Each structure stands twice: as structure tokens, then as C-alpha cells.
Amino acid sequence: MKFSYYLLKKMVPGIPDKKKLADVLSVKSFEVEEVKADAMEIKIMPNRWSDAASHWGMAREAAAATGRKLSFAPKIIVNQPQNKGFLEQIKIEDPKLCPRYMAYYLELPKIGQSPVWMRKTLQTCGLRPVNAVVDILNYVMIETGQPLHAFDASKIKGGIRVRRAKTNETIETIDNQKIKLDKSILVIADREKLLAIAGIKGGESSKVDSKTKTIVIESANFDPVSIYRASKTIKLATDASQRFGHGLSPELCKIGIDRAIVLLKEICKATFLDSKDVYPKRQPKKILKFDEEKLQSVLGADIDSKTVSIILKSLGFRLLPKNMIEVPALRLDINIIEDLIEEVGRMYDLNKIPGKNPAVLLAPPEMDEYFLAAEKAKNSLMEMGFSEVRNSSFIPAKADGDVEMENPLSDDKRFLRNSLVYHLRENVKTNHRFSGNVRIFEIGKVFLKGFKEEYHLAMAVSLKSGDYVFRELRGPAENLLRSLGLTDYAFVPEGSKLRLESDHEVLGYLFPDPKNKAAFLEIDFDKTRHLMEGEREYLEISPYPSIIRDISFTVPASVRMNLILEAIADLRIENLDDVDLIDYLNIADDRISLTLRLVFQSMKKTLSDEEANRSTAKIADILASDFKAEIR
């Protein structure tokens, strides 16, 4: 919200220069976002519109924050003309939605221009000067915070009614927009027509124009939720709707309208002839008990009671006997002792409170298992040359997710990802342009039907050559599983994919992507980490040497490796400790060449060459008989 430094200075003559004021306000009150010429852009917090969205309120903050005196106070008219017959009846249908409605009736000799100083101030605050009446009402709004509206009195037929709009009722606004209303929207009407959308915008039908001789000034208070919703429903936000939407005090109505009368008399030579004030239930006084001990406990600082009194008084609080504090009527945000503590703390300056080491019971901090497992996995993958990426949680409509956004940012962010592979594949493609081999992974949430979410882990390998890329993925994948402590798992072929299983559960899949010379793995990381075993246990190391035999052979290209390994396992050869594929080559279209390394080891004795040879021969036999292998 824009403020005029000049006007603030008029209200608090002693305040420091703009830059200095901006710094003080930023620390103690509100963030000052920009200072340009006379204008200060100040961010009013949503809970402070009732008192501080005005120069008067901001001046009070500035005075309290800098220890100066506020010299401005709007004049309250005591003996105004009342019920003189110029104004007809005012009826409020639902006082909950409109706690107060004031109307002042005035006669104007003519509507001219407002004075230069007023127009300048309005412009500083981002408002366009129109004519003296409109300008004065706008000026009073930025000065006191109360939105006001003027009707041409001659155009109101038979009193004013504050009621809900009827279904499909329409109104033409002052700026000639036709707006369709519904029953949730509050309007100001007379016997025949709509005069205004309550708290949002005036209507064309009762507009003040060059022929206007008598006006009715409205100063009302509306229920914030009702105005907030109405403004959303009809998609029309105005200065007034913003203010009412945040909630204002009905006590402000009279302050604002009386200030307007002073200016209208002075500038327009208006004659104040009549007034009405419908205010069935006065805003109750708010009195809180101040508790110094609580203040010290919450802030953790000793602030003496004299300082506390000075601060509270400077903000308009009244100090009553027995530690009772009366809250200013406009401070709708102050309801509990903590709110008072904040007022004292910020004006005292939170920076002056020294930090204090908290007393805590020593206990080892807990760490959610996810973070432990993720750290393990990430470090393991990093050691194997994989780099970590983080991708968007959103995927395009065409990627076919399970959870859709009600309000997507764009069509290519319509769904939440149900797999990490979509973006990982994009990463592979873009990185290929800059680097040869790509090894990446991501751990993150995916979102599934039924509004479920799971952590997944995905890996991608893509090689410039593209040869045997699947093995380049599977090896590290198995290392990863082992480093996570998963000891018992199996890869089961399923079409063009390999299914990863453990403990009768499917953990995920590995699959090649020949088009991108890539291979991917995606696993349910939550499920996987729950299968992790605890601490590892020492296994005895054989004191006897091992014997190694490499066996090279060719088989038809259609033979699948998992079947060979299963066949060897089925032989149940004693002392066969490990079988590893150490070489793999396509030698012709229809044949592949393989080398298996067999490791023999016994816990009981040194194995003889003959034993190793016998076992190797057994394996060679089964390769030849079951897989048409030619041993080389």
C-alpha cells in the first residue's frame, strides 16, 4: 500500500527522514518495500488493515516506533443534525452482514475540483483525482481507513435498504460494467433499484454527476467474509472491498464520515442538513489482563514495566487499574495476552533481546528412517558415478498421471508425477547434448490413485555407444540394493522388463530404452527400505586359497543368461562360491560369446585342481547339452 511521507510527517512532525523511517518501520512494524519521491510502499499485514491501512494508523506506528508524538486526530462531530426528514428510512435486513450503516445528507453549491495538495497526495498513493467530492472521500479513506461512498440524493427513491441480491439480479456499476449478482452478495438498494454492491462498488443509477445538488454520504461496516466472498464471486476487487474483506471496526464509520464533513464544508462549501446512524449492537470494549511474568517468559527478556507502559500508551492502549488494558477499538487483531506481548516486543525492538541457550534434556535425536535410507542410497550411488537430479513434481497431461490438479499452472503441469522416469528420460536427452555418458538418479515422491504418495528411487544410464547399457545399470543397481542391506532379492523377466522382487513383493522394474540408448530402474523406495536388514554380521573368511576357472563358450543369441545361471545353481556344486559374467560379446547375428568366472572355495580344506576341473567339466556339460554351447 502506498503512503505519502509528506502526509505522515504532517501527522508526526518529528519523524526522521524517509530512509531512516523506512528502516525503523521495517524492523518494528511493517516491511517498507520501496521509497520513491514522496511515496513509501508499505506492506500491510493481513491482520492490521483495521488500524494501519491508513495514514493516521501508520502515523501512530511511526510515532510509537520512533518515540515521537502523534499530532493528528480526526475531529468527531458531536451535535450533528439528525432525523430532519431529508433522509428517509434506512433498513438493514441482516445486521450480522452490516453491523453499522451511517448516512449524512448534504447540500452542495457546486462540485468543483479538489485542491492541489489533495490531488498530489492522492496521486502519490496511486489514486486518480476525479472531482472534489470523489477526491475528498478517497482522501478520507487513505487518511482514516474508512471507505466512503456518495450517492446523488435526488436519485434515491424511498429510503435505503441493505439486503442480499436476488438470484440473477444485475447492476450497472459506476464505470458501466454490468454485473450479475446472486443471493450471497450484499447490495444497497432503494425501493425501486440497486444503488451499489455493498462494500465493493457504487452503481450508475445513483451516481453523483455535474447536476447533483444534494448528496448522501455512506459510511458503513460490512462483514469481512461476506465481502471477501462476494468480491471473489463477481471477480471485482476494489480499494473498498479489500479493506472490508480484511475486517474493519464499525467504530471507524463515524471517524471517517465526520472527517469527510469537515473537508466537504471547507472545500465544497457543503451544508450538512441531516444524518442517520443505524448501529444496533455497539462493538464491545475489549479489556485484557496484562501478565508481566508471561511477557518475560515468552520473550525471554526483562523489560521493565515503565517501558511496557510507554509502549502500550504510545500505541493507543489505555492502562486501567489492576493490570487491565483497554484495547483501542480499531485494533481488531489484539485478542489475547500474546498479542500484547508482540506489541511490546516489537516496539521494544526484538533485536535488543539477547539470545539465550535453551535448557534441554539430553537425549539422542531421532531421525526418520527415510532420511537415513536416502542418505545411504545417495552416497552409494554417488560413489558408483551417478549424479543426483531433482525434477519437478508436475508432469504434462499427455504423461497420464494419477492425481490431477484442480488449478494447474499450465497444461504441461496438469498432473502430479506417478513415476520418476518421465523427467529422468528428459534429463538423459538434454544431457546427451553436452556430455557423453549419463548416469543419474533421483529420490522423490510420486503420487498415485487414491491420493497416495510414495518415495521412489529411479536410476538412468545412457551411454554414447549404447552397447550393453542394461548391464551398466544392473550392476550398480545390485550394488545399491546390497548397500541398503537388501540381501534376498531376485530379478524376474517380465516381457521387456526385469521385475525386482524381494520377500514376495514387487519392488520395481528395470527396463531398457533403446531409442535413447538408455536403461532405467524405478523402485518403491519406501517398500525397499522396509525390507532392509539391520546390522550386518561377520561371516567367517576361509583360511584356504580359492581356485579360479574361467570358462569361455558361445551360445545362440536367443539364450537368456538368467536360465544359464539357474541351471548352474541347480547343479548344486559343492564349494562353488561365485559365478560372474566377465565377458559378453555379440560375435555374429545369431551367436554370443560369454566368459564365466567360477570361483571355488572351501572352508575346510585346500581344494585340489582335479576337484575344480571336475566341477568345471560338469558345468561345461550342462552348457553344451541344455544351451547348445560350444566351449572354446
Partner 1 sequence: MNKDIDTIQSEAAEAINRAKTSEEVEAIRVRYLGRKEGLLNNVLKSLKDLPLEEKRRIGPLAQQARKEIEEAIDFKLKSLVEFEIPEEDITLPGKRSETGHLHPLTKTENEILRIFTSLNFSVIDGPELESEYYNFDVLNIPADHPAREMWDTFWIKQDKKPKNSKDHYLLRTHTSPMQVRYMETHEPPFQIIVPGRTFRYEALDASHEANFSQVEGLMVGKDVSFANFKFVIEQFLKSFFKGKKIEFRFRSSYFPFVEPGVEVDIKFKNSKWLEVMGAGMVHPRVFEFAGYNPRDWQGFAFGCGIERLAMIKYNIPDIRMFYNGDLRFIKQF
Stretch that binds partner 1, among 45-53, 181-189, 549-557, 566-574 (CB under 8 A): 45-53
Residue from 394, 509, 511, 627 binding partner 1 (CB under 8 A): 394
Single out the residue of 17, 400, 404, 488 in contact with partner 1 (rule: CB under 8 A).
404
Q: Does 29 bind partner 1 (CB under 8 A)?
A: yes
Kindly identify the residues of this chain, within the stretch 333-352, that bind partner 1 according to CB under 8 A. 336, 338-339, 341-342, 345-346, 350-351
Q: Does 355 bind partner 1 (CB under 8 A)?
A: yes
From the list 540, 420, 421, 531, the residue with the least C-alpha distance to 482 is: 531
Contact flags string 194-233 toward partner 1, x per CB under 8 A? ------------------------------xx--xx----
Which window, 167-175, 177-185, 378-386, 517-525, contacts partner 1 (CB under 8 A)?
378-386
Give whichever of 321 and 365 is closer to partner 1, judged by the CB atom: 365
Residue 478 interacts with partner 1 (CB under 8 A): yes or no = no
E strands within 88-146?
Answer: 90-92, 100-107
274-303: which residues touch partner 1 (CB under 8 A)?
297-301
Query: Considering the rule CB under 8 A, would residue 78 count as an interface residue with partner 1?
Result: no
- Residue 588 binds to partner 1 (criterion: CB under 8 A): no
Shortest spacing between CB 65 and partner 1, in angstroms: 10
Q: Which stretch binds partner 1 (CB under 8 A): 67-75, 423-431, 531-539, 566-574?
A: 423-431
Round to whole Å and give the CA distance between 308 and 326: 14
Closest of 522, 485, 520 to residue 506, by C-alpha: 522
- Asked if 603 interacts with partner 1 (CB under 8 A), we say no
CA distances from 478 to 372, 471, 474, 491, 597 (A): 19, 10, 6, 10, 18
382 binds partner 1 (CB under 8 A): yes
Using the rule CB under 8 A, is 163 a contact of partner 1?
no
Q: Which of 73, 78, 367, 541 binds partner 1 (CB under 8 A)?
A: 367
Select the residue interacting with partner 1 from 155, 423, 529, 549 (CB under 8 A): 423
User: Looking at this protein, which amino acid is placed at residue 391?
Assistant: N
Q: How far is the CB of 224 from partner 1 (least distance, A)?
A: 8
Among 85, 284, 321, 365, binds partner 1 (CB under 8 A): 365
How far apart CA 243 and CA 143 sit, in angstroms, is 13
Nearer to partner 1, 384 or 599 (CB): 384
Pick one of 73, 116, 360, 588: the residue that binds partner 1 (CB under 8 A).
360
Name the minimum Å distance from CB 412 to partner 1.
11
Single-letter residue type at 506: V
Instruction: Write down the least CB distance from residue 341 to partner 1, Å.
Output: 6
Position 94 contacts partner 1 (CB under 8 A): no
- Helix (H, G, I), strand (E, B), or coil: what is residue 135? helix
Q: What stretches of 202-291 show up as alpha helix (H) in DSSP?
A: 224-233, 239-246, 251-268
- Given a contact cutoff of 8 angstroms between Cβ atoms, the answer to whether 58 and 23 are in contact is no
Question: At 251, is the secondary structure helix, strand, or coil?
Answer: helix
Inter-residue contact 83 to 90 (CB < 8 Å): no
Q: From the CB of residue 131, how many other CB atoms can be counted at a distance below 10 Å?
A: 16
**DSSP H or E stretch at residue 36:** strand 32-36
Q: Which CB, 48 or 549, lies closer to partner 1?
A: 48
| Distance, CA of 290 to CA of 295 (rounded, Å) | 9
- The residue (of 222 and 553) whose beta carbon lies closer to partner 1 is 222
Euclidean distance between the first and the last CA atom of the chain, given in angstroms as a whole number: 85
- The single-letter code of the amino acid at 168 is N
3-class state of residue 597 by DSSP = strand
b/e map of 530-564 (b: 16 or more CB within 10 Å)? ebbeeeeeeeeeeeeeebebebebbbeeebeeeeb
Q: How far is the CB of 47 from partner 1 (least distance, A)?
A: 6
Distance CA 586, CA 573 (A): 29
Q: Which of 73, 116, 362, 588 binds partner 1 (CB under 8 A)?
A: 362
By CB under 8 A, which span of 149-157, 160-168, 187-195, 332-340 interacts with partner 1?
332-340
User: Binding to partner 1 by residue 363, rule CB under 8 A?
Assistant: yes
Task: For the segment 433-462, give every residue that binds partner 1 (CB under 8 A).
Answer: 434-435, 437-440, 444-445, 447, 451, 453
Q: Does 426 bind partner 1 (CB under 8 A)?
A: yes
* Eight-class DSSP state of 173: B
Q: Does 566 bind partner 1 (CB under 8 A)?
A: no
Find the shortest distance in angstroms from Cβ 322 to partner 1: 20
Q: At residue 502, what is the residue type?
A: S
Does 517 engage in binding with partner 1 (CB under 8 A)?
no
Total residues interacting with partner 1, rule: CB under 8 A? 91
CB atoms within 10 A of CB 391: 17
Q: Strand pairing partners for 275?
A: 104
C-alpha cell at 560: 537368456
CB of 29 to partner 1, least distance (A): 6
Which residue in the set 2, 6, 47, 532 belongs to the binding site for partner 1 (CB under 8 A)? Answer: 47
Show the cell assigned to 473: 545399470
Helix axes 561-570, 609-627, angle to 10 degrees: 130
Instruction: Report the alpha-carbon distance of residue 620 to residue 627 in Å, rounded.
Output: 10
Task: Please state the closest distance from residue 428 (CB atom) to partner 1, in A.
Answer: 9
Q: How far is the CB of 239 from partner 1 (least distance, A)?
A: 14
Nearest-5° Cα angle at 50, 118 to 226: 110
Bridge pairing between strands 90-92 and 160-164: parallel
* Contacts to partner 1 from residues 226-245, by CB under 8 A: 228-229, 242, 245
Sole binder of partner 1 in the list 48, 164, 276, 331 (CB under 8 A): 48
C-beta closer to partner 1: residue 380 or 616: 380
- Residue 246 touching partner 1 (CB under 8 A): yes
Write out the H or E segment, with its range, that includes residue 610.
helix 609-627
Contact 279, 250 (CB under 8 A): yes
